[in-house]
Amino acid sequence: MTGGTTVVCVQPQEPVAGPTSQPPQPPQARGPMPVSGAGAVLPPPVGVPGKRPNRRGRLILAMVAGVIGLLCLGGVGVFVSLYDEATEIKRSAPDAVVDNFLGAYLVNRDDNEAELYECKSGGDLAELEAYRADIIDREKIHSVGITVSWGSFDVSTNGAQGTVSTDLTKGTSNGNERITKPWRFDVVDQDGWRVCGATQTVP
């Protein structure tokens, strides 16, 4: 046998396919497991956070309400003031008192209103009462309206007493008849001027 070198052929092994190792994963956070039964505790519901009250808005509303209240009170005050002025009994001047008295007694024929301008006691208006009664009787008899008017006033005062003179004219509403007579009204100052007497005078 001839000597020599022996060559041994070794076939490389093929890599074996297998599962690839994965890096370790961190444990995932898990919520509490539901527990069945009567004592189960459920997680609180997630709600919408409530809105805080708007202090600025409430302050503005309060200011507006306050302003409106003041305006209302001011309007009431103005109304009361105007009403008092409109209904105030004017007794500062004798002629103004006689004028208002004649309007109440002969035109409106309102005794309650006329009393506001009469003296508190001791007055004598009998002649003027007869004058108005005659007018009312003639209206009924002749079925016609009769009006009374008066002219300018002549005023004379002496301290707390005085007289106011004027002409009273009565006439039918159709204008067919007019009668004018002079009258004198006695006035006294009793917390303001008041009518205490009425007399038809001779022209």
pLDDT digits 0-9 by tens, 85-120: 444 677 899 999 999 999 999 999 999 999 999 998
Q: What CATH class does 94-200 carry?
A: alpha beta
- Residue 161: its H or E element: strand 161-172
Output the pLDDT for position 156.
97
pLDDT digits 0-9 by tens, 34-49: 545 545 555 555 555 5
Q: Indicate the pTM of the whole model.
A: 0.58
Q: Which residues pair with 64 in a beta bridge?
A: none
**Angle formed at CA 179 by CA 171 and CA 133, multiple of 5 degrees:** 70
Answer whether residue 133 shows pLDDT above 80: yes
Q: What is the mean pLDDT of residues 59-76?
A: 77
Q: Which residue has the higher pLDDT, 28 or 148?
A: 148
Burial of 186 (0-12, 13-18, 19+ CB in 10 A): buried
Kindly state the greatest CA–CA separation across the chain: 198
Output the pLDDT for position 95.
97
> Domain residue spans in the chain?
94-200
Answer whether residue 157 shows pLDDT above 80: yes
Output the pLDDT for position 201.
95
pLDDT digits 0-9 by tens, 172-192: 988 888 999 999 999 999 999
Residue 124, by phi and psi: left (phi above 0), alpha (psi -120 to 50) or beta? Answer: beta
Pairwise CA distance, residues 100 & 113, whole Å? 9
Structure tokens at 116: 């506001």
What's the Cα-to-Cα distance from 134 to each of 15, 33, 55, 72, rounded to whole Å? 149, 112, 77, 52
Answer whether residue 83 shows pLDDT above 50: no
Q: Which residue has the higher pLDDT, 123 or 52?
A: 123
Q: What is the mean pLDDT of residues 39-65?
A: 66
Output the pLDDT for position 82.
47
Output the pLDDT for position 131.
98
